[in-house]
Structure 1
Amino acid sequence: MTDRTLDARGLNCPLPILRTKKALKEIAVGETLEVLATDPGSMADFAAFARQTGDELVSAEELDGHFRYVLRRNS
């Protein structure tokens, strides 16, 4: 269970990351954000995003033609 969901399916780089950055600012530290995306490059993008921001990439998986990421806001 996550605290919020962001549907970024159909968006191409860099829009899923930009919208994720904005959504993370809108949740409290310690809460989680689920992101749904279809951009094939998003797997590498979200891993790099988490390393750069210090937020935790809790999970990353491919499901039925889209990707699902769960991030925890750490700062």
Structure 2
Amino acid sequence: MQSGRSQSVVGPIPERVQAFQPADSDTRGKHRILAELKRLEQEARFLEEELEQIERMEKASGACKEMLSNMETTPDPLLPM
């Protein structure tokens, strides 16, 4: 689900920027725009990877039940018996 969307969103952005460039050659402005696009693409990839990890994670209720059962079976060493 995420991979198809990332290819369609991330891929054509540099081409659109190159088509939008002004007639005069302002290389500093062009460099800034391309650097910002690269940063945004990296952030988008990071967020997509994070979403994929979240989708693969176990449900929270199952993890809470497991932790609760472990806590109930192991006595607290700081509390007197």
The structure richer in helix per residue is 2
TM-score, structure 1 normalization: 0.29
The structure richer in strand per residue is 1
